[in-house]
Amino acid sequence: MTQTGVMPTKQKQQRPKAVKEEHIKVEPRLFNREASWLEFDRRVLEEALDDDLPVLERLKFLSIFSSNLDEFFMIRISGIKEQIEEGVGELSPDGLTPTEQLRELRSRLLPMIRKQVSYLGKTVFPELAKAGITIEPYKLLSPKEKKKLDKYFRDNVFPILTPQSVDSSHPFPYISNLSLNIGLFIEPNRAATQKNLRHLFRQKRFARIKLPPSVSRLIPITEGKTRFALLEEVIAANAHHLFPNMKVTEGHLFRVTRDADIEIREDEAGDLMRTLETELQRRRFRFPVRLEVSASMPDKMLRLLTAGIGLNENDVYKIDGFVDIPDLMQLYSLDMPHLKERPISAVHPSVLIEKKNIFEVLKKQDVLLHHPYTAFSAVTDFLAQAAEDPRVQAIKICLYRTGKDSPVVRSLMRASQLGKQVTALVELKARFDEENNIEWARRLENEGVHVVYGISTLKTHSKVMLVIRREGDKLVRYVHLATGNYNPTTARLYTDLGLLTSDPEIGNDATSLFNFLTGYSQQTEYSRLLVAPVNLRERLSELVKNESEIASQGGEGKIVLKLNSLTDVGMIEALYEASNAGVEIDLIIRGICALRPGIPGMSENIRVRSIVGRFLEHSRVLYFANGEGAGKEVIYIGSADWMQRNLDRRVEVVFPVIDPEIRDYLKNEILAGYLKDNVNTSILGPDGTYVPVKLNGSKRFDSQMSFVGVDILA
């Protein structure tokens, strides 16, 4: 889920020399990355179609599905279209040319979109209506209700609108990315048009009205705010105010999706922030990749739109129902708890409650945080206490996605105001959060925080906070490392893991890491941390190879990986080799998985499952049995997925779990729980399809709900 977030992203691809799209297909060793992305979206859609979920939760998943597809078109489809435009003939992992990929992806998308829209109209809307929540056609409202909405239009909408018509003196208007628009035809009402204007309006012409994003699309009809009219219908009913003395045809909705990838040649960017701001402006005008239209749109209008926008019929998606479903999330904010999942109670670690001084706790033990089951306030309280503590000398942190109103940023400002040395590495290039991060960077700088943007050629994706505190005659380092961002909002929606520790070696490594990020040091040696692109790939390869050697020598090799995505060819081939050596491998991959499991002689010992449930699975856990019995296993958690971009083109941090109690919890509760799940789990087959796990008489076990109320160190 959005991926806004919650979701996989695209990297610019290397462009080989153009070749003809002629090839001989062979049995692929890898799944198509784009197709695997869509299979994840299919599982999100299946979650939305679960009649056992409360109706507003199903609406939420329908919205997430649409948002995921928006990102898929803006990032992945746009990349394939660029390949075609530039004559790239490189085959995908499953042997398809770029043109064939587009055809295949469209064939997968169309039935999913039809199923989504149909379920919304035939199931969700009727169930909402039974609960008293209705979206009612303007034309069926009473005269009094129409009058009220017409007044709303005149007072709140009409002054904002700018209708645009197309003729020889008015070129086809620019249609902004993801905006919702009404298309209609207008022609002169000859009986009403003044004689001196008739020569200007001699024929029917196309006009476009953009729905203003500042106005809610759902307009309350009554005071109770559970009966709504649609903004587009209110505008259409009042179109005569926009086109006086003109005949106006019925309006039809359309929406354009554009390429949203930003490519910055940072070696030529003297000021990264200014360059990024310029690129964000340019992103608004990137090339179109998709046109969504109401299914009722006449062919003449559709031909005019596709020609004016610069697309063809294969880029058109006709929606036989509600267009732009995420707009309906306004309904989710209604105070109707019986139509939603019961909120979970997040636990604050008891060990931190008993001793209010967090630093005293961390001197004695590490503390594992498991969000959203562990309250994110454990992190913000740690930072807030560090900001106020007179013994704290310095705070350093990596910020990737922080959210709109961040207590993390406020604490950093407070620490700076109190005279502490505060350094924030703000990743300006975090996709779709660029503008938010630019704003935070400026505010932090204004408060005296040292703001840096990391290494120009790498995106900093690591989640690390370092607090340096003077205790007696020495400085002690306290570290927070995590799989998720410093974002309280997503911490309630994503499953993530974090670790609070005062381990001296980790503290020393964290210091070296920040020197690497802020001072451009050539640090290559880390005692405990695995850091991409320095030593992470090499160490992961060694860990996989070690299990292979153990199995080859008759031992019990075992690997369990929980990741968001697995696409790196080198690591997949290493897992294939381990499987052939006899290593038992269980992969819990939420989203994209290019590895083909269950193929004799290649991956017969590899099993892949995906968990899609109430929360977005975001934590990464790596388990290697290490052949030495209980207590000797190697367990890491961290920020990196096994993708080439994460291992080679990003700064990522993966860290070891040393505390025996925490290691047992990760192995026997978290990983074992996910492998036991039979509610949210689908199994990936050798053909690339996912099949939901069947109970077959077994007791239901929901891994996500099994963690609710658990105090890890109680």
Contact 656, 633 (CB under 8 A): no
Q: What integer is the mean pLDDT of 565-589?
A: 97
- List C-alpha distances in Å: 260 to 9, 181, 285, 432: 11, 19, 9, 9
d(CA 81, CA 259): 10
Listed in sequence order, the DSSP H helices in 287-422 are 299-309, 350-354, 358-364, 377-388, 407-417
DSSP string, 406-468: -HHHHHHHHHHHTT-EEEEEE-TT-TT-HHHHHHHHHHHHHTT-EEE---TTSEE---EEEEE
Listed in sequence order, the DSSP H helices in 24-91 are 33-48, 55-71, 78-85
pLDDT for 132 equals 95
pLDDT for 196 equals 55
Q: Return the SS3 of 604.
A: coil
pLDDT tens-digit readout, 649-676: 999 999 999 999 999 999 999 999 999 9
pLDDT for 171 equals 79
Peptide bond just before 372 cis, omega within 30 deg: yes
Total-model pTM: 0.89
Catalytic residues: 461
Contact 235, 141 (CB under 8 A): no
What sign has the CA pseudo-torsion 9, 14, 19, 24? Answer: negative
CA 23-29-34 angle, to 5 degrees, is 75
pLDDT tens-digit readout, 614-628: 999 999 999 999 986
Amino acid at 597: P
- Burial class (CB within 10 angstroms; exposed 0-12, middle 13-18, buried 19+) of 554: exposed
d(CA 450, CA 423): 5
Contact 532, 643 (CB under 8 A): no
Tell me the two tokens of residue 166. 């197309």
Amino acid at 438: I
Contact 179, 154 (CB under 8 A): no
Per the model's pLDDT, the better-predicted residue between 234 and 628 turns out to be 234
d(CA 436, CA 451): 15
Q: Which domains does the chain have, with CATH numbers?
A: 1-11+26-127+259-292+309-321 (1.20.58.310), 134-250 (3.30.1840.10), 350-523 (3.30.870.10), 531-706 (3.30.870.10)
Q: Return the SS3 of 399.
A: strand
pLDDT tens-digit readout, 400-439: 877 777 899 999 999 999 999 999 988 766 455 556 666 7
pLDDT of residue 6 exceeding 50, the answer is no
Contact 684, 690 (CB under 8 A): yes
Which pairing describes strands 634-638 and 621-624: parallel, antiparallel, or unpaired?
A: antiparallel
Amino acid at 45: L
pLDDT tens-digit readout, 156-211: 999 999 999 887 567 788 899 999 999 999 988 765 555 555 555 557 889 999 99
At 20, is the pLDDT very low, low, confident or very high (cuts 50, 70, 90)?
Answer: very low
pLDDT for 429 equals 60
Question: For residue 349, which phi and psi values (nearest 5 degrees)?
Answer: -50, 125
d(CA 686, CA 601): 13
Q: Return the SS3 of 282.
A: helix
pLDDT for 93 equals 82
pLDDT tens-digit readout, 444-462: 888 888 888 767 778 889 9
d(CA 562, CA 251): 48
pLDDT of residue 23 exceeding 70, the answer is no
